[in-house]
């Protein structure tokens, strides 16, 4: 096999346009099930997604590779960086971060458990609540009395008493919970201060733990469950209706509306029938009636990965990539979130059209692409997707064909202009631009001065897949003055180089 020249570039999508305005492209999105499916419920936290299977075993996806314990569980709850579940015998098992004791549950039998940010709470079989972990704000000091459900939040906890009233506790001054119950369940955000509850008539009410006033909530129930989490812009809630459909909405004080153009993912669960839903930190999952989970997440734009071709035959090539890493906004470099999957696309031109080669790749980081034309340069793109959208940045690699290849055409739309700097002693520069040439794997930029001096090669540019915008320094005269400088460029691959573009002269 001939040597392949691999060139990595990052390209941006905008409003459904991929690589050029003339090549609209809509990534194909498919459902990504949690491992093995067959789920009865799901819980989403900050770094993990966990579900309970029909046989009671746990299926989890963790950014940090944390494995759940074996055995049968009735329920599972995922917190900030710890997880807790109620086993079939009523005991509670927790795993993960235990800095504050949030993963060290007390003995006894429980009917439910809730993992919050740095603490956990559970309802015992006798109806009393036990909490463990951080009690900095009194969030792990429950009141006396019997409860039917409990939810551990950020700096507070809330529960539903046997009479249907909601009570929240914290050393911080909390707003009173709505008195117009009775309530069947409550959900407190482990990220901020928002709370939602389901009344016994199926209606939903939401409020702020620290600011007076109700939040917007839908009225098209009845609902059987509600979950509170966060998205990129707001805290959000999703409710499971009794007819097994889902509604999601932003939690806001000052805009009494359920519409949110910045959170279009709210429509992710608008179609289909579901049996469980959970919202975590910038992500959520719902279990469909067939037992598979569909998940969405905040697909990061700043993905960084490598994509390479390791082997090529006359009609196939093997592609490998490294799992992307991204900055999470707090300076942490994290791996690919577990609810994402990969899509690989291929084209014979940087402008497309691209065809979907394979979708739904999970932990696989090697794929063989068959059915290639031996004489064609291949452009391959790797996207990271969830069930709602794909990354706006992608790793793209171009590899020269193994068979005969024609030289690329001359790069189109070659232009140049002078850049005048305002500083007295700062010499002027030039900006050169051109469009990509199909089949190119690199470009050569040449410079000349005056009409008598020959052109000389200035640089080789190894980013052939995107339009170029290149600032260059011209020939300098005395005291940094700008001499008459001419420029031209050509596209190249292993078969040779194209004719030069027209000469652009800048005075």
**In the chain, what are the domains?**
7-29+301-399 (2.60.40.10), 41-291 (2.130.10.30), 415-506 (2.60.40.10)
Low-confidence stretches of the chain (pLDDT < 70) are 1-37, 63, 65, 232-234, 253-270, 297-306, 310, 312-314, 323-340, 350-352, 360-364, 373-375, 386-396, 401-404, 420-428, 450-453, 463-466, 473-483
What are the phi and psi torsion angles at 221 (to 5°)? Answer: -80, -150
The predicted structure's pLDDT at residue 395: 63
Instruction: Work out whether the CA dihedral 208, 212, 215, 221 comes out positive or negative.
Output: positive
The rounded distance, in Å, linking the Cα atoms of 150 and 185 is 8
For residue 449, which of 501, 500, 488 has the smallest C-alpha distance?
Answer: 488
450 three-state secondary structure = coil
CB 487 within 8 A of CB 397: no
Q: What is the largest CA-CA distance in the chain?
A: 97
> Which sign, positive or negative, has the C-alpha torsion 277, 278, 282, 283?
negative
Torsion of the alpha carbons at 91, 95, 101 and 107, rounded to the nearest 10 = 10
Question: Is the entire prediction scored with pTM above 0.75?
Answer: no
Q: Residue 67's pLDDT is what?
A: 86
- CA-wise closest residue to 463 among 442, 490, 444: 442
Residue 175, phi then psi, degrees to nearest 5: -70, 145
Tokens of 487: 């420029």
Nearest to 379 by CA among 305, 322, 463, 259: 463
Return the percent helix, strand and coil in the chain, to nearest 5.
Answer: 0, 45, 55
pLDDT of residue 137: 95
């Amino acid at each position: 096999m001939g040597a392949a020249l691999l060139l990595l570039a990052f390209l941006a999508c905008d409003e459904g346009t991929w690589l050029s305005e003339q090549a609209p492209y809509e990534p194909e999105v498919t459902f990504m099930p949690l491992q093995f499916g067959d789920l009865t419920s799901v819980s989403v936290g900050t770094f993990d997604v966990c579900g309970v299977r029909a046989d009671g075993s746990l299926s989890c996806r963790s950014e940090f590779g944390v494995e759940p314990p074996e055995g049968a569980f009735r329920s599972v709850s995922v917190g900030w960086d710890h997880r807790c579940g109620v086993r079939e015998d009523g005991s509670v098992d927790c795993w993960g971060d235990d800095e504050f004791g949030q993963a060290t549950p007390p003995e006894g039998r429980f009917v439910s458990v809730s993992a919050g940010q740095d603490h956990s709470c559970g309802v015992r079989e006798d109806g009393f609540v036990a909490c463990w972990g951080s009690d900095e704000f009194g969030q792990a000091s429950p009141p006396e009395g019997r409860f039917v459900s409990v939810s551990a939040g950020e700096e507070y906890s809330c529960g539903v008493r046997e009479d249907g009233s909601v009570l929240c506790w914290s050393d911080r001054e909390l707003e009173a919970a709505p008195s117009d119950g009775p309530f069947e369940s409550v959900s407190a955000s482990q990220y901020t201060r928002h709370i939602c509850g389901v009344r016994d008539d199926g209606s939903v009410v939401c409020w702020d733990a620290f600011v007076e006033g109700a939040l917007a909530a839908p009225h098209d129930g009845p609902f059987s469950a509600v979950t509170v989490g966060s998205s990129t812009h707001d805290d959000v809630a999703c409710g499971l209706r009794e007819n097994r459909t889902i509604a999601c909405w932003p939690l806001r004080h000052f805009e009494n509306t359920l519409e949110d153009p910045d959170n279009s993912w709210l429509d992710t669960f608008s179609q289909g029938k579901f049996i469980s839903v959970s919202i975590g930190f910038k992500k959520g999952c719902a279990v469909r009636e067939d037992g598979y989970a569909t998940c969405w997440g905040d697909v990061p734009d700043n993905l960084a990965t490598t994509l390479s071709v390791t082997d090529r035959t006359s009609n196939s090539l093997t592609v490998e990539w490294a799992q992307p890493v991204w900055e999470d906004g707090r300076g942490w470099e994290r791996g690919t979130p577990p609810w994402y999957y990969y899509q690989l696309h291929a084209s014979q031109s940087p402008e497309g059209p691209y065809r979907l080669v394979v979708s739904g790749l999970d932990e696989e980081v090697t794929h063989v692409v068959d059915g290639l034309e031996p004489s064609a340069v291949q452009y391959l793109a790797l996207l990271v997707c969830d069930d709602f959208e794909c990354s706006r940045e992608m790793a793209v690699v171009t590899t020269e064909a193994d068979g005969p290849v024609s030289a690329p055409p001359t790069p189109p739309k070659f232009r140049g202009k002078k850049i005048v700097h305002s500083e007295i002693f700062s010499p002027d520069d030039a900006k050169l631009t051109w469009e990509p040439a199909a089949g190119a794997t690199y470009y050569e930029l040449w410079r000349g001065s005056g009409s008598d001096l020959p052109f000389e090669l200035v640089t080789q540019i190894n980013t052939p897949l995107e339009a170029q915008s290149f600032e260059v320094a011209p020939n300098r005269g005395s005291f940094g003055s700008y001499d008459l400088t001419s420029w031209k460029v050509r596209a190249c691959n292993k078969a040779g180089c194209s004719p030069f573009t027209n000469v652009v002269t800048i005075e």
